[in-house]
Chain A
Amino acid sequence: MANFEFTQNLSFGQYLPTNSWFHQRDPRAKILTIFFLMIAITFARNTYMVLAGLLIVLLIFLISQIPLKNALRGIRTPLPFLIFIAFFQLFRFSPAADNPLILSIWSFTITMQGLFAAGTIILRFVSLILTISLASFTLSTSDLIYGLQSLLKPLNWLKIPSEDFIMVVQITLGFLPLLGQATEQIAKAQAARGAAWGVKNQNFKQRIQLIIPVIVPMFLTSLQKAETMAMAMDSRGYGNHLKRGAYRQLTFKKQDGFLLVTAFSISALLLFL
């Protein structure tokens, strides 16, 4: 199947505006909540705590009124890799008195602890992936930008220009679709003149050979596009060294504080129990 939909494959942030209670929270509170949960799930030592983390993430999905179907779609692609990694966990431990043997093939042994470790690793990764998709479903790009801008402001005390950094993030997000489009146009132009794009029965090497001639012109056109964009920014007064204003003013309400404190305490519990 000829597939030239590079642009749309780069769809960033499949933001689902359901206008739920969670969606309405201050972006800073949302970002921190997700950040705490990710730390907790990554470093929790206890399998049950990881499971608890997963349940909490699913609970937030419920609160945000996001159909689980959407969330599970994100897991499907990396699942084979997860199973692959988990597979090796199975054989990690040797049987002992408190670690009963389940199965042994030649010198490989699957033990209770191994089974547990494999389960934990799948659980941990699935929870993390769900947390990340939760972020993309509930944080609009503007939430992300204004939230980060506010959260990173303290860096200015250390003379790190956080606003410039945020502008870089914003421009990159805007530029990715352009890049995808440039790639699409060049690939199509080459296909139209005989390059074997979208042709069936190609091996891996043939596919790689197709990609290489697209890369150089892609960079060239992207540079041209970037130049125009820079000019458009310049002509609208960017980089004048005045203090920039802000279109959105974030207001931190009591409910946001409640969300933040709850997320922090739950994450601490997951980590240290």
Chain B
Amino acid sequence: MALLIEVNQVSYSYPVPGGPPHPALRDISFQINEGEHIAIVGANGSGKTTLARHLNALFVPDSGTIRIMGLDTKERVNHMKIHQQIGMVFQSPQEQMIATSVEEDVAFGPENLGLSTQDIQQRVRHSLEQVGMWDQRTRSPQHLSAGQMQRVALAGILAMQPACVIFDESTAMLDPFGREDVLRNIETLKQSGITVIMITHFMEEASLADRIIGLHQGQLRFDGSPEDLFTDDKLVKSMNLDKPRVLWFAQQITPWIPTIKSPLTVEQFKKQIEPRPAQQSFAPLEDHHFFRNTQESLVIGNQISFTYLQNTPLAHQALEDISFSVRKGSVHGLIGATGSGKSTLLQHLNGLYLPQTGTLKVGPFEVNHETDLLQLRRYTGMVFQNPNYQLFEQYVGDEIAYGLKVLGITGSELRERVKLAMSQVGLDFEEFKDRMTFALSGGEKRKVALASTLVLDPSLMLLDEPTAGLDPIARREILGQMVRVHNEGKTLVVSSHQLEDLALLTDHVTLLSEGKAVCTRETEKILSAHELLHQYQMIAPIAAQMASVLHEKGWMVPENIIIGQQLVAAFQTLGEPNG
């Protein structure tokens, strides 16, 4: 195999105005051969993205050298060749769309290569067909879904005929189907001999690679196979990472099924289990969950409909006849593919949008044109999807104090309430109050966003994709905060693509599809209904997938298992494994 990328003792620091530079990469060396599939993992802020940007010469190292097919990235004359050979799909789909139609966006790269019109047209067609977007070629990228935009972005890179494609957390903003789509495309790329480098927070995705490069605080901590990394508990922990959940759960049931040998994916898990000659039955699942919720409904929506840009040619119906209710004191989940109306529905609950038809009752408020919106929004706090766009003050302290200042609260009361809210989410007041919001890590931004809502002490909290883009540790922390907030007596409505999270948090889930409410049921009933989920473009939590694999093999575990602990508990009811 020919050598493609050679990284030799590379260090890089970001300049910090008025301070010492912040080292992002320290003395990193490794090599990548043609045709390899590499995953780069590491906690938020470990230098993954910085490293990736060095690999296609967007950044140039402060010291050390990087050679791409023998070309030094320090030489500007090599950049054109390097950009053509190493393509990059970014995290945010929208910001990498350059032209005003899909086909012209894909043509952008080849145009820069100075190719003939005929060549460009051929390449555009070929690469759009490869990602299945040729029939959408004349549309504006702005009107596509996030998943479709990522496909167009990939096509734009394929049209440059690269030797290597880097995916920089390209799946972080996508729903499960969008993510599978990207993974399928990666598989095709591998088969055609293209080198794939993917940066990801999903350890399940990283397990698919041939080789993992692990970063921790700018240093290379690991370079080897996924099996070697994930079976080394100490190493994984020291890098602030997590094992793939399949491995986690499988290791715990290995005493009962000894053929299991550290599977990293559900596929591997399936292969490692021998079908049982006779079925092993299990006691039905005990109700481990204890929910304080009463029969009283806090939110009642009745046939809510909403159309964006009503009465214009661009009108787009987002909600259609939605009826649902949320019980007081519960954690209620909203699931559905991208564009199913989850965010729009959430934004109705605090009056950012008002229902155009139907009725909506939130706590003591009837939400309509007569509602006192200020009171309603004080009653319902909302934490938005992307923390980057919801933090607007310069300093963390001011950010959290914003809502209180609007209410006219000042002085020591303001200070105390900010302090309390920060301690609720685990941010130290003295350490964080004067930090710049823009310089925080992804997990810290979420915490600030959560604190800035908690500070107003709302009775109902709305959370839109609270864990998207977080590393496993930050994700666990945020989930923990949400459980605490719930235990303090608040009602939560959470929308998420991460069914794992909802399995842990919620008691009831409403499934949305194309603006309609398909059903509202107990979480375990919906999240273990594989066919139902599949029909509406979602994928069951890993524990549920493993349970259904076990079922096929004659281990008749309870069908409504959705979290790993239930799976382990089910096996524990069998007693100590014999032999």
Near B by CB (< 8 A), chain A positions 16-35 give none
Chain A residue contacts of B99, Cβ below 8 A: 142, 170, 174
Check B388–A224 contact: CB distance below 8 A: yes
**CB under 8 Å from chain A, chain B span 364-419:** 369, 373-374, 377-378, 381-382, 384, 386, 388-393, 402-403, 406-407
The contact sample of 18 A-B pairs, CB cut-off 8 A, is: A1-B369, A8-B312, A142-B99, A173-B100, A174-B99, A185-B386, A192-B381, A214-B392, A217-B392, A228-B96, A231-B58, A232-B98, A235-B56, A235-B83, A236-B98, A236-B108, A236-B160, A239-B112
Chain A residues whose CB sits within 8 angstroms of the CB of B309 once the complex forms:
5, 8
Size range of the chain B interface in the assembly: 35 or more
**Is B214 an interface position by the 8 A CB rule?**
no
The distance in angstroms between the C-alpha atoms of A185 and B92, with both chains bound, is: 15
B79 at the interface (CB under 8 A from A): yes
A residues near B312, Cβ cutoff 8 Å: 8
Which segment of B230-238, B268-276, B350-358 sits at the interface? Answer: B350-358
Question: What is the CA–CA distance of A185 and B312 in the complex, to the nearest angstrom?
Answer: 22
A173 and B108 CA atoms in complex are apart in Å by: 15
Chain A residues near B113: list those with CB within 8 A.
237, 242, 245
- Say whether, besides A193-B403, A248-B117, A235 and B95 are in contact (CB < 8 Å): no
A194 at the interface (CB under 8 A from B): yes
Question: Which residue of the partner chain, among B83, B121, B392, B452, contacts A186 with CB atoms under 8 Å?
Answer: B392
Residues of A within 8 A of B (CB): 1-2, 4-5, 8, 11, 14, 70, 140-142, 145, 170-171, 173-174, 177-178, 181-182, 185-186, 188-196, 198-200, 213-214, 216-217, 220-221, 224-225, 228-229, 231-240, 242-249
- Top 10 nearest A-B pairs (CB, nearest first) are A247-B107, A217-B392, A189-B390, A193-B403, A232-B96, A185-B389, A194-B406, A141-B100, A237-B112, A242-B114
Which residues 90-126 of B have a CB within 8 angstroms of A? 90, 92, 94-101, 103-104, 107-117, 119-121, 124
CB pair B104–A142 under 8 Å, yes or no, is yes
Asked if A194 and B58 sit within 8 Å, CB to CB, the answer is no
How far is A190 from B352 in the complex, measured between Cα atoms in Å?
A: 11
Contact A188 B352 (CB under 8 A): yes
B308 within 8 A of A: yes
Q: How far is the CB of B84 from chain A (nearest CB, A)?
A: 6
| B456 CB–A CB distance under 8 Å | yes
Contacts of B373 in A (CB 8 A): 2, 196, 198-199
Known: A236-B83, A238-B112. A192 touches B352 (CB 8 A): yes
Chain B residues whose CB sits within 8 angstroms of the CB of A177 once the complex forms: 142
Nearest-Cβ distance from residue B349 to partner chain A, whole angstroms = 11
Closest residue of chain B to A8 (Cβ to Cβ) is B309
A174 and B98 form a contact (CB under 8 A): yes
- Smallest Cβ distance from A197 to chain B, in angstroms? 8
From A70, A200, A242, give the contact of B112 (CB < 8 A). A242
CB atoms of A246 and B98 under 8 A apart: no
Is B453 on the interface with A (CB-CB < 8 A)? yes
**Per-residue contact bits, chain B 288-317, to A (CB 8 Å; 1 contact, 0 not):** 000000000000000000001100111000
Chain A nearest CB from B475 CB (Å) reads: 22
Q: How far is the CA of A242 from the CA of B373 in the complex (A)?
A: 57
Q: Are A182 and B389 in contact (CB under 8 A)?
A: yes
Given A189-B384, A245-B111: A228 and B95 within 8 A (CB)? yes
CB contact under 8 A between A2 and B111, given known A8-B309, A199-B373: no
Quick one: which of A170, A171, A191 contacts B377, CB cutoff 8 A?
Answer: A191
Minimum CB distance partner of B113 in chain A: A237
A183 to chain B, nearest CB (A): 10
User: Is the beta-carbon distance between A193 and B83 smaller than 8 angstroms?
Assistant: no
Contact, CB under 8 Å: A190 / B392: yes
Closest to A198 in B: B373
Among B90, B98, B100, B108, find the residue whose CB has the most chain A CB atoms closer than 10 A. B100
How many angstroms between the C-alpha atoms of A8 and B365 in the bound complex?
Answer: 29
Contacts of A200 in B (CB 8 A): 369
Question: B406–A195 contact, CB under 8 A?
Answer: yes
Q: Which of A14, A213, A217 contacts B313 (CB 8 A)?
A: A14
A2 to B109, CA, bound (A): 41
For residue B157, CB closer than 8 A to chain A, the reply is: yes
* CB-based contact B98/A229 at 8 Å: yes
Give the contacting residue for B314; candidates A11, A224, A232; CB below 8 A: A11
The answer to whether A245 and B377 touch across the interface, beta carbons within 8 angstroms, is no
Shortest Cβ distance from A1 into chain B, in angstroms? 7
Which A residue's beta carbon lies closest to that of B140?
Answer: A141
> B384 touches which one: A185, A195, A199 (CB < 8 A)?
A185
Judging by beta carbons under 8 Å apart, are B160 and A237 in contact?
yes
- On chain A, the residues within 8 Å of B53 by CB distance are 231
Please measure, in the bound complex, the distance between the C-alpha atom of A216 and the C-alpha atom of B391, giving whole angstroms: 12
Q: A188-B347, A189-B390, A247-B117 are in contact. Are A234 and B58 (CB under 8 A)?
A: yes
B96 & A229 in contact (Cβ 8 Å cutoff): yes
Assess whether B438 is interfacial by the CB under 8 Å rule. yes
